[in-house]
Structure 1
Amino acid sequence: MIHLDHISVRSDAIGIVFCKSKTDQSGTKRRDPRHIYSNPMEARSCVFLAIAIYLACHPQLSMGKLFPGAAQKDRFGKQLAKLLSHPDPTCGRSEYGTHSIRKGAATFACSGSTGGPSIVSVCLRCGWSLGNVLERYMHYEGAGDQFLGRVMAGLPINDASFAILPPHFKMPFDSDVSSAINKVFPSLSRVPALHSVLAFCLSSWAHHAQALEMLIPKSHPIFYSRVFTDVDMVPMLKARLVTHDSVLPATGIPPHVGLHKELTRATTEMRSIPNEVIRGVDALLETKGVAAGNLTQRLLKETLVEVVAPMVQALASSAEVSPAPAAPPCIVNYPIFEWNPWQQRLLDNFITPSVDVATAWQLWWCGNAGMRMPPFRLIKAGHIPRSQVKPFSEWRFAMDFLYRVYTAETGLRIPENPTPAHATDTYAIILVKIKPLLQKTPKGRIRRGDQIKIATFASILRKVPQLGLRM
């Protein structure tokens, strides 16, 4: 079971410590971290991106279990079965689970190359017992697991790009990057030990943002998170990304990859030699032409520069220097539809998103500028498809309740157009009051309160009608 305080940054990797495993239920054996690496070339197999999506879809996740709740093995197996488009007809979907992932990963790591990781490092990473002698004297070092981590990330083992660095930000983080971390991960950003992990997640997200829009359907909760609702965040983060020539060292690199890098560099230099020769010959011909008294293109260009440059400088000094116009504010143009005598927004393709309560509160007051959606509180039943009227009415019911909780607690009203930061602050006040409701069911079962969906929350409120009076 993984806890958030078991996750840390290890140079260019993220290390995860398993305190217990299949062969160590007592937790008495060595606790070496498993290294996971980014794959900047393929969004589908980038673990950094997967962690970023999970954490951003649950912005109120607090310290504790990375995956809260009970029966994690069964829940994972069900989700894995749903993803299988062509399962083996001889096996039922219920036979796929965590062990299937472990066996498949080991098969992938040990096949396809004669220079792959050792079987010892593979067995120890999978948690398979090797016997007392092997585990005592042949226990893997960090470098062995680092190499295996790069293989499992899908990086090409027989190519120079196997040593590629993850997209990252320069240290120390500037104020814009720190602000983005606080916005996207409002709860976990309060833990200083996780800042480097969250920065890796955010940088991989910015790097793969365009691929995400093509791979994931627009109804996914990720497109309602702060990275996509804030239209200026992704361009800002991309401008600060670093992928090459960094002080960050690449770890887990076998010797033969260094030879691949040298061969790649030598090949690039050899391919550039013909162009260098051509440029040198052109320069030589230009020089010889000038010496012979001929009017060459270079001589004509230099003469024009000498004549025109003083004139341009004189005009520039005499002209009045006007201040640069301020950048216009970012204005989102929502689609307009003519409805009777008024102009109203009509969202034909609107689908009520399945998001957590915190994200729903943000959308209710601030909308989704990335998808050109107004604040959801301005949407009426006549603006959306009929099939979405009932789910959206559940949203309105839940939001009205949360608003009453806020006004009862503070005695204040929320402004007409609150900022996303203000919406986050108001929800923090509301969360203190509704947290007992999200922790346990009437039968005493523990809920995953940080991940509860808005539709489930509305259903809970309808089952406890007197709740509003108690709060």
Structure 2
Amino acid sequence: MDLKNLVTCRLNSPGDSIVATGVPPHISILQHMHSLAKNVNDVVPQIQKVAPDVIRGVIDEIEKRAMTAGTVTRDGLEALINGCLEKSGLYQLVQKLEDSPTSGIQQEETLTGDEAVTMTHMVGMHSWGGRLHLVPQDFAFPNSWSQIAWQYWMCGDRQKQYPPLRILSKNDMSNTNMQKRLSDFRYLMQLVEKRVEEKGKWIAHPSIEQANEMFEAGKDVLDISEVSEKGRKRRGEQMKWSTMVNRVRNKRKTQRFS
């Protein structure tokens, strides 16, 4: 059969099913092979990741079933202990001690001549309410003069193993009334703190004597009167801190609205 009559020589026309590109067929095949190779390379890491994920999932499921059945496993026991410690507040307590100005250590300095002897002791820990606290459940703020309250604020109580009260938080208080007392105590003491810092007399870890000197430098912010409301003369620093905080707040409130 003569095929010559079926062949037409012409340029490309719109609608032709075959388009002449001038590119040899093997070049196009190589491009497709390169694309497939790239896709395979992208898939291989995902395939390699499947095995560890499956193994970890199987181990986790075994751990869950072991715990349900009451069987103790290493990972299960570790997770249980960590959960209990976190629930008890130990991690938060450690973080609080690390972030506190004293880092959980109370320091006292006793000067003998030119030599200073520094004594440090760990603050006692107290367990109640399912958590660890810096003070016992029956802790009470000192019913004392403002100066003595300042000593507790800066130095704590070594005999009772109380830390400086300035590092306590509301979580260390046993009830809402004690939280309110802490708020009042902190309000008054921080006024003195600010004034001491303004005068450049601040000492981070003072002895009792140094704390007294700091109080002398900052007590003027409390505007302590030497004469009581009944006309009795008394030393201002011997006014109870609970009385002083009310006097200071009332005076500042009056000044604000006057």
- Which TM class, normalised by the smaller chain length? 0.3 to 0.5
Provide TM-score, normalisation by structure 2. Answer: 0.46
Of structures 1 and 2, the one with the larger relative CO (CA 8 A, separation 6+) is: 1
Higher strand share: 2
